Amino acid sequence: MDYGFHSPTMSFPVAGTLMIEPTESESKREIDRFITAMASIHSEIQKVIEGEWDKDNNPLKNAPHTAIEMAGEWNYPYSREEALYPVESLKQSKYFPPVKRIDNVYGDRNLFCSCISVEDFA
């Protein structure tokens, strides 16, 4: 999300590999933008591997970074710019998610319905 992408379709057809399938409607420009993002994420992973970034407190682990994090106090050991604008093109056009990462397992096990009650339909 910090790079402006919703997760594409992914699968693991061969052990130790990842296959990413963009839709047929993606332009060459969008595919190139995705490749740039993947290369940048690889660089971030290398910073963790090499010990430059803490394995539990880095832009990857704390992603996505929300709009509210643009203002106010910054409590991370990496720069705001590294988190919010990991590639130059994002300075021109950036989507800021409204919420941080969601614990899907918790949500799957603890359903909370926000629907109106059945009685309201009567």
pLDDT given for residue 40 in this prediction: 94
* pLDDT class of 102 with cuts at 50, 70, 90: confident
Phi/psi of residue 41, each to 5°?
Answer: -65, -40
In this prediction, what percent of the chain has a pLDDT beyond 70? 94
pLDDT given for residue 7 in this prediction: 67
**pLDDT of 79 strictly over 70:** yes
Q: What is the pLDDT of residues 33-73, one digit of tens each?
A: 889 999 999 999 999 999 999 999 999 999 888 888 888 78
* pLDDT class of 115 with cuts at 50, 70, 90: confident
- Across all residues in the chain, what is the average pLDDT? 85
- Please say whether the beta carbons of 98 and 66 come within 8 A: yes
Residue bearing tokens 């970074």? 65
User: pTM (2 decimals)?
Assistant: 0.71
- Please say whether the beta carbons of 7 and 18 come within 8 A: no
* pLDDT class of 8 with cuts at 50, 70, 90: low
Burial of 78 (0-12, 13-18, 19+ CB in 10 A): middle
